[in-house]
Chain A
């Protein structure tokens, strides 16, 4: 009965309904968009830091992360290939054998982080091939190395120059090899530029006297967020000799820096809520002012204030629901669009981003949780705002109201 009345009221003055609903729609769209963008920036940050190196999850010999030595390596296994076949969330299993060696060229020597990779799989996860500045990307059967541009500069080595690699291999053996440089890599991060050296996995296993051994499997996952389910699944299926870690465990500093930045983000959201909340409130205020006369007449002819306020509340609820539905319907394609066509940062700022190895874009995150939460917030806000018209009606003096 109340809702029928409310529904009819809404359609009686469509223009007013559209304006009020419009303010709710806008609130949903802006809140969802803003949150999606904030989270999008974090996702990109994680992607840049995690995706370019560690991957979202890794499997190692238990204890490797604590003490990263080649002696804590493990024999390559098929269990993960089986896991990939069974779990569609695991897109790729990327093997690595990693340690530190001295690298010599001429009179120069540097300590390098030496990573044996399976080039094709590695490229699938980290797009390493895209970092090649000079020369060519490795192939699995190559007998050569790729080095970071900073390392190349420090060693004064270019394409075709032969490097001497020397140091410690597996279980006290000596690692030594002469290998030519076939590629020079340009990373965003100077740290990576200065110390990375990649070589094909079979060559690395020979060099370190660690045949068929690996220090890590990095996992390429279907979507960010999958790491939680995947690590849980792998933890229960793999024997205890292995550790399965997601990026949150591997990089607690990144998690913390995002958490602290989020606080600033909440402040921003708070301000946005204030503004859109006020927008809705303003519309409600106007609506009440406009309908003073109508309310006056209705109370004068004997309609109970209580019933009237219930009708009013029902109108607001209906408009809120309508606004939220339309809002989500608009916000969703907008968020999706800006996820795939992110804002690009141009000019001097873009150079700054590039220098720190971060793509100069601001994408949005597509997340059901964000949409649900923001929708709920706007809904609650609208309901809170509708307290005003209700109070106004309960206190109405029909004589005064009709005089407008």
Chain B
């Protein structure tokens, strides 16, 4: 009897996503899964697409929690060795060509990162997607053949967010955000961040391709593609130091 009750209980818990779960819970869970990553080490390419040119860079990246990230350019040869370090809300650059570390002035935080459609602010995300927004499930939707919740996020009045609203598509099976649409106050779509190439590697499911598409500039986008990724390697905080940024290979 006890076993039966306990089994039923487990079943109920398992079924909960289908009805009881709130939009906020879904986003929280998605964040928890993302944050569950203690650390990561990856190799990727970043492709900047413009109407009349494209440029591909190869990068190595390390991250630990939300506070630390380090990125190293490995190609093209001209920029190889350049590194960007994020420590909480500071951004540093190491430029081997001139053997200088450069701290990015605050005023430049909203500028483009390495000429891409990402900004330095995207690296130093201060806003909490859980606490700073009001969440609401709109309907179910299918993205890349996956069943998703379509969730509307409205920023709180006091949240330092320029968006009028964000629409996120979270897959029901693995809680991955497959697509985020950023709208202004008048409902115009400004940016789209899209994930694809879902793979399971080292016990984790994640998107290997990220595309940032600024809708106001036709023909512009930036694509990040992971070649390989290793999770939860032990990194000390010192690994993410200005000193180490110069040495890392």
Q: Residues of A with Cβ closer than 8 Å to B?
A: 71, 102, 104, 109, 111, 164, 166, 168-169, 171-174, 176-178, 209
Task: Kindly state whether residue B139 has any CB partner on chain A within 8 Å.
Answer: no
Partner of B105, one of A102, A171, A174, A176: A102
Contact: A171 with B98, CB < 8 Å?
A: no
List which B200-244 residues lie within 8 A (CB) of chain A.
none
CA distance A174 to B57 in the complex (A): 11
5 residue pairs, one from A and one from B, having the closest CB atoms: A172-B115, A176-B95, A172-B55, A178-B98, A172-B48
Complex Cα distance A168/B48, Å? 13
B98 lies within 8 A of A174 (CB): no
| Distance from B193 Cβ to chain A, minimum over Cβ atoms (Å) | 19
B92 to chain A, nearest CB (A): 12
- Which residues 167-212 of B sit at the A interface, judged by CB distance below 8 A? none
A172/B114 in contact, CB under 8 A = yes
Q: Is the CB of B98 within 8 A of A177?
A: yes
Closest to B104 in A: A102
Interchain CB contact under 8 A, A172 and B116: yes
Contact status of A174 and B48, CB under 8 A, knowing A164-B102, A209-B78:
no
On whether the beta carbons of B102 and A173 are closer than 8 Å, the reply is no
- Beyond contacts A164-B102, A169-B115, A171-B48: 10 other A-B pairs, Cβ-Cβ < 8 A, are A102-B108, A104-B102, A109-B105, A166-B102, A171-B50, A172-B114, A172-B116, A174-B78, A176-B97, A177-B97
Task: Pick 10 A–B contacts, CB within 8 A, sort by A.
Answer: A71-B53, A102-B108, A111-B107, A164-B102, A172-B55, A174-B114, A176-B97, A177-B98, A178-B100, A209-B78
Contacts of B112 in A (CB 8 A): 168
Which residues from B are CB-within-8-Å of A111?
A: 107-108
Chain B 87-131 per-residue mask, 1 if CB under 8 angstroms from chain A, else 0: 000000101011010100101100010111000000000000000
Chain A's nearest CB lies how many Å from the CB of B43? Answer: 19
B85 at interface, CB cutoff 8 A: no
Q: Which residues of A contact B27 (CB under 8 A)?
A: none
With a cutoff of 8 Å between Cβ atoms, the chain A residues found around residue B97 in the complex are 176-177
For B57, the chain A residues whose CB sits under 8 A away are: 172
Chain B residue with Cβ nearest A110: B105
B contact set with A: CB distance below 8 Å? 48, 50, 53, 55, 57, 78-79, 82, 93, 95, 97-98, 100, 102, 105, 107-108, 112, 114-116
Distance of A164 Cα from B105 Cα, bound (Å): 14
Q: A164–B116 contact, CB under 8 A?
A: no
Q: A166-B93, A176-B95, A209-B78 are in contact. Are A171 and B102 (CB under 8 A)?
A: no
Give the shortest distance, in Å, between B20 (CB) and chain A (any CB): 47
Nearest Cβ distance between residue B57 and chain A, in whole angstroms?
A: 8
Within the assembled complex, what's the spacing in Å between the Cα atoms of A135 and B215? 49
For the complex, give the distance between the alpha carbons of A50 and B213 in Å.
40
Q: Which residues of B contact A102 (CB under 8 A)?
A: 102, 105, 108
Neighbour of A164 across the interface among B79, B100, B114, CB < 8 A:
B100
Give every chain B residue within 8 A of A169 (Cβ-Cβ): 115
Given the interface pairs A164-B102, A166-B102, A176-B95, the reply to whether A171 lies near B78 with Cβ below 8 Å is: no
- Looking at the assembled complex, report how far the CB atom of A154 sits from the nearest CB atom of chain B, in whole angstroms: 12
> Would B108 and A176 count as touching, CB distance under 8 A?
no
| Chain B residues near A171 (CB-CB < 8 A) | 48, 50, 53, 55, 115
A157 to chain B, nearest CB (A): 15
B55 contacts A174, C-beta separation under 8 Å: no
Q: Write out the residue numbers on chain B whose beta carbons fall within 8 Å of the beta carbon of A109.
A: 105
Q: Determine if B116 and A166 form an interchain contact, defined as CB atoms under 8 angstroms apart.
A: no
Task: Provide the residues of chain A in CB contact with B115, threshold 8 Å.
Answer: 168-169, 171-174
Alpha-carbon distance A102/B57, docked complex (angstroms) = 22
Q: Is the CB of A174 within 8 A of B79?
A: yes
- Cβ B50 vs Cβ A174 within 8 A: no
| Given known A166-B95, A166-B102, A178-B98, contact A173–B78 (CB-CB < 8 A) | yes
Cβ-closest chain A residue relative to B102: A166
B52 to chain A, nearest CB (A): 9
Q: Is the CB of A173 within 8 A of B105?
A: no
Q: Which residues on A sit within 8 Å (CB–CB) of B108?
A: 102, 111
A71 contacts across to B, CB distance below 8 A: 50, 53
A166 CA / B107 CA spacing, docked (Å): 14
Q: Residue of B at shortest CB range from A174? A: B79
Instruction: For A109, give the chain B residue with the smallest CB separation.
Output: B105
Q: How far is the CA of A177 from the CA of B99 in the complex (A)?
A: 10
Nearest chain A CB to B218 CB, angstrom units: 14
Interchain CA distance A211-B76 in the complex, whole Å: 16
Q: Bound complex: CA of A209 vs CA of B76, how far in Å?
A: 12
- In the complex, the chain B residue whose C-beta lies closest to that of A71 is B50
What is the chain A residue whose CB lies nearest that of B96? A176
| CB-defined contacts of B105 to chain A, threshold 8 Å | 102, 109
Q: How far is the CA of A173 from the CA of B82 in the complex (A)?
A: 11
Question: In the docked arrangement, what's the CA distance between A309 and B173, Å?
Answer: 109
A104, closest chain B residue (CB): B102
Nearest CB in chain A to that of B55: its residue: A172
Contact A174 B53 (CB under 8 A): no
Compute how far the CA of A209 lies from the CA of B50 in the bound complex, rounded to whole angstroms. Answer: 17
A168–B112 Cα distance when bound, in Å, is 9
Chain A residues closer than 8 Å to B79, beta-carbon distance: 173-174
A71 to B219, CA, bound (A): 14
Q: Which B residues lie within 8 Å of A164 (CB)?
A: 98, 100, 102
Contacts of A166 in B (CB 8 A): 93, 95, 100, 102
